[in-house]
Amino acid sequence: MMWFWLGLKLARSRQGSFVSFLSLLSLVGMSFGVAAMLVVLSVMDGFEGMLKTRMMGADPHVTVRGVDREDFAHLVPPDTVITEVVQTEVLLRVAKKVSGAILMGVEQSALQRLASDQSPMPLFVGQELALTMNLGAGDTVDVISVLDKIPGTMLPKMHRMRVTSVYSSGMPEQEALRVFTSLEIARAFTHALVPEFEIRLKDFDQAPVVAKRIRDLTHADAQDWMQRNAHLFASLRLERRAMSVILGCIVLVASCNIVTTLTLTVLGKKREISILQVMGGRPHDIVKVFLAQGLSIGSFGVVLGLLLGYGIALFISSTSWIALPDVYYDRTIPVTFKVSTYIIIGLSAWMISLVASVYPAWYARKIPLLDGLRS
């Protein structure tokens, strides 16, 4: 422990203005690098978590096609909601405005989650689509099938329906594309509809397990939410890795400053190193001294970076001063505070500072005794 104490004392001592400036620069660079990486990854994790939450509120956890409800109902957990759904492509026409949409026919229980008051021909339009076509509750819209025609003619099937309500799911893409109605109305548009079942689990993280079980035992086409959005989450993971590498370069630059600082310290402390050797210090003891100096700079930088990053992330999550544009899912920046993220970033930065201290410490042990005494 004495050699580590000497290294800490050496790090706190005045070693000349230039070396002290490099030590301060190394500490500040390590702190800013750790803080920047922590804030960016916390925000990216927050966006991914918010995206998953909104998806799970709007999309089914598992979709099943090719089998009847009785074939897989016993394969799902007890607290599972299974809903039959049919969907077809339609055109919506209001005056001179026309927009494509996907007509989703769902069971009555699912429609009751959108509105308690039901009409004979319910139609629920997303908020984004309603803004585009200037629609509101009670307005009339022509729903035209693009896949089926009136028997004996070339005219498409068309129904004039009244908008029951405008729903908001928090997913603009869904609100601009999907309109909901009852199963009976959706079946009236075409006879070629293939029914599918949507499964909502109490714990959506179990969706891959449930989907695999249904596929293996019934040979049905079962997809979980992760499979349907695989490209999106793969892009998010790739972006997170790229940002980690880019921000990690800041920590690497700070570690280079640690190498420079320790090397200049070794060159300026040759006499003290020789005195330690005369007093009985062995080569590996000399290594411990300069490793302790490098680790002290790195450790202080890591701790300050963690505290600074936590403070910035806490400020971002608790204030509305930084507002996002309307194109985002939320106006405030989401932030997550994962202990694992703090531990991984802190240990990684600490290991980088340890590796950066190895060469100067190894160089110090090879300084000849007489060279140091002559200096």
Examine the domain organization and report whether 240 and 354 are in the same domain: yes
* Domain-located, residue 59: no
Query: Interior CA angle at 220 toward 217 and 223, to 5°?
Result: 105
Examine the domain organization and report whether 246 and 357 are in the same domain: yes
Poorest-pLDDT segment among 38-52, 109-123, 229-243, 303-317: 109-123
Residues in the chain: 375
* Domain-located, residue 116: yes
| CA–CA dist 90, 177 (Å, integer) | 10
| pLDDT above 90 for 50 | no
Among 181, 200, 219, residue at a domain's last position? 200
**Contacts with 33 (C-beta within 8 Å, 6 or more apart), sequence order:** 247, 248, 250, 251, 253, 254, 305, 349
pLDDT at 307: 93
Are the CB atoms for 275 and 345 separated by under 8 Å? no
Mean pLDDT of 228-244: 82
Examine the domain organization and report whether 85 and 49 are in the same domain: no
Examine the domain organization and report whether 196 and 88 are in the same domain: yes
pLDDT at 304: 92
Mean pLDDT of 277-290: 71
| pLDDT above 70 for 119 | no
The Cα-based distances of 200 to 49, 206, 248, 319, 346 in angstroms read 18, 10, 40, 34, 38
pLDDT digits (tens, 9 = 90+) for 163-181: 888 887 777 777 888 888 8
Among 251, 244, 246, residue whose Cα is nearest residue 356? 251
* Domain-located, residue 150: yes
| CA–CA dist 178, 186 (Å, integer) | 13
Mean pLDDT of 19-43: 82
Mean pLDDT of 55-67: 79
Give residue 306's pLDDT band: very low, low, confident or very high (50, 70, 90): very high
| pLDDT above 70 for 13 | no
Among 150, 177, 200, residue at a domain's last position? 200
Examine the domain organization and report whether 160 and 291 are in the same domain: no
Are the CB atoms for 301 and 26 separated by under 8 Å? yes
* Domain-located, residue 210: no
* Domain-located, residue 108: yes
* Domain-located, residue 209: no
* Domain-located, residue 68: no
pLDDT at 63: 84
Widest pairwise Cα distance in the chain:
109
Output 10 or 268, whichever has higher pLDDT: 268
Q: Could you tell me whether strands 124-126 and 165-167 are parallel, antiparallel, or unpaired per DSSP bridges?
A: parallel
Output 254 or 45, whichever has higher pLDDT: 45
SS3 assignment, position 334: coil
Examine the domain organization and report whether 299 and 365 are in the same domain: yes
pLDDT at 155: 67
Examine the domain organization and report whether 24 and 131 are in the same domain: no
**Contacts with 219 (C-beta within 8 Å, 6 or more apart), sequence order:** 66
Mean pLDDT of 229-246: 82
Examine the domain organization and report whether 195 and 237 are in the same domain: no
pLDDT at 190: 66
Examine the domain organization and report whether 101 and 14 are in the same domain: no
Among 148, 180, 200, residue at a domain's last position? 200
* Domain-located, residue 100: yes
| CA–CA dist 79, 293 (Å, integer) | 58
Give residue 17's pLDDT band: very low, low, confident or very high (50, 70, 90): low
Give the percent of the chain with pLDDT over 90: 3
Mean pLDDT of 219-239: 82
Tally of domains in the chain: 2
Give residue 357's pLDDT band: very low, low, confident or very high (50, 70, 90): confident
- Mean of the per-residue pLDDT values of the chain: 78
Q: Which domain holds residue 313?
A: 2-53+232-374
pLDDT at 65: 83
Examine the domain organization and report whether 119 and 18 are in the same domain: no
Give the percent of the chain with pLDDT over 70: 77
Examine the domain organization and report whether 250 and 369 are in the same domain: yes
pLDDT at 308: 93
Examine the domain organization and report whether 124 and 194 are in the same domain: yes
Among 64, 100, 66, 58, residue whose Cα is nearest residue 83? 64
